[in-house]
Amino acid sequence: MALNGFLEFFQREKTFRPKKRFTQGTIRYSLHKQANASLQSGINLKEVVKLPAGENMNDWLAVHVVDFFNRINLIYGTISEYCNETTCPTMSGGAKYEYLWADGETYKKPVQLPAPRYVELLMDWVENQINNETLFPVSTDVPFPKSFPSLCKKILTRLFRVFVHVYIHHFDRIFSIGAEAHVNTCFKHFYYFVTEFDLMSAKELEPLAVMTAQMCKD
Ligand SMILES: [Zn+2]
């Protein structure tokens, strides 16, 4: 499934929040274009996530983190009206998994929150990180902070939880609007990216491990 179709599909839907864009003419903009062009040609997702020769790993990370944020934002947007305090009083992934929110600032101790509130705080947090030019420099003249890879791991680990909740609690909605192939492609891309560079722990991947073993065996 071409990602182009995926994006067009979701752009017709209500957008959850504005899309983060790359500045035209920058290296990151061209990497973003390059990454999307290889997706559109329908080639092996396991291959397209690999770092192109001569490219910088932090740039590659930055581009993917922002793209995944945008796509997961759109995916959640399509189910958000079905995700409320009554349907989802906790941020769960089935009976076995529940996420508690802590950001080290407003929420110092982990707290139980309804899923929509948790996702809202999670997406706000990610948006604040990627819009912080000290953490995600806009200009390629400005170096990435030393903590950049570990920050990206944290962001991707948190974004994955939205996939967990959507797949386990709202896949009927995704299916009913015919978006399952698009969501699956986005998920596979995400999964191959995080496993290629060892960006998430097996423990965090566990809630979708059975599905992933089926879906990502090629
Ligand atoms: Zn929900």
Q: CA end-to-end span of the chain, whole Å?
A: 15
Q: Cα of 97 to ligand 1 centre, how many Å?
A: 13
Q: Does 83 show up as a binding residue in the annotation? A: yes
Is 216 assigned to a binding site?
no
Distance of CA 104 to the CA centre of its chain: 21
Q: How confident is the model at residue 110 (pLDDT cuts 50, 70, 90)?
A: very high
Domain span including residue 124: 1-13+20-216
| Nearest to 123, CA basis, from 99, 77, 159, 84 | 159
Cα–Cα distance measured from residue 177 to residue 198, given in angstroms and rounded to the nearest whole number: 33
Tell me how far the alpha carbon of residue 159 lies from the centroid of ligand 1, in angstroms: 14
**What does pTM read for this prediction?**
0.85
pLDDT tens by residue, 128-166: 999 999 999 988 789 999 999 999 999 999 999 999 999
CATH number of the domain encompassing residue 63: 1.20.140.30
Nearest-angstrom CA–CA distance, 27 and 22: 9
Separation CA 139–CA 40 (nearest Å): 27
In the chain, alpha helices (H): 3-12, 27-40, 45-48, 57-79, 115-131, 148-169, 171-176, 180-196, 202-205, 209-215
Q: Which residues have their alpha-adjacent CB atom under 5 A from ion ligand 1?
A: 83, 88, 115, 169
Give 60 Cα–ligand 1 centroid separation in angstroms: 31
Spatial contact of 144 and 190, defined as CB atoms under 8 Å apart: no
Cα of 178 vs centre of ligand 1, distance in Å, is 19
Total residue count of the chain as it appears in this document: 218
| pLDDT single digits (tens) 50-96 | 999 999 999 999 999 999 999 999 999 999 999 999 999 999 999 99
Count structural domains, the chain: 1
Residue with tokens 């040609």: 41
Whether the per-residue pLDDT at 26 is higher than 90: the answer is no
Angle at 212 between CA 204 and CA 31, to 5 degrees: 80
